[in-house]
Amino acid sequence: MTSTGFVVRGHGMGFEDEEQTMFTVGVAELPDGGGRQLLVTASEDDLEDADLDMDSYCVVDDEHRCSYGGVRRAELTGGVLVLEFTEKAVAELELTEPVLALKIDLEPDVVAELAGGYRRVFTFGRESFRPELAGDLA
């Protein structure tokens, strides 16, 4: 992800498996899920990988770059999701800046649902990796 954000016009959220052990919140630039994307996943399977620092949520971009527990602060206010990443996550996700702002151009009820999903994934796993939550995420 080489720039500081994009406008969100597509989304998806829910469990990715029958056992309901992996929950993902995904947003995309295009309504059909195309363009730039950002996924945040919480998976119970990752809890077994504490020795690899993978026992937390995982942030994945459209280029399949990945960072575990790399969000320092997350805020959703006025339909804008702002994520502040750790230095390690900035490097792993190849960001140009530590702050990513996503303007969510979706209906208010969808934005509220996304807020609930983000609260769910960001409070998963190792407590030391949990970001400070602000705005509609608090």
Q: What is the pLDDT of residues 35-76, one digit of tens each?
A: 999 999 998 765 555 555 556 899 999 999 999 999 999 999
Confidence category of residue 2, pLDDT binned at 50, 70, 90? very low
User: What are the backbone dihedrals phi and psi of residue 19, each rounded to the nearest 5 degrees, phi first?
Assistant: -75, -5
Cα separation, 129 vs 12, whole angstroms? 24
pLDDT in tens, 64-122: 999 999 999 999 999 999 999 999 999 999 999 999 999 999 999 999 999 999 999 99
Q: Which residue do the tokens 């527990």 mark?
A: 69
Whether residue 17 has pLDDT greater than 70 = no
Percentage with pLDDT > 90 across the chain: 75
| Residue 128 near residue 122, CB atoms below 8 Å | no
Q: Taking residues 121-126, report their average pLDDT.
A: 88
The pLDDT value recorded for residue 27 is 98
pLDDT in tens, 24-43: 999 999 999 999 999 999 98
Q: Is the pTM of this model over 0.75?
A: yes
The pLDDT value recorded for residue 4 is 72
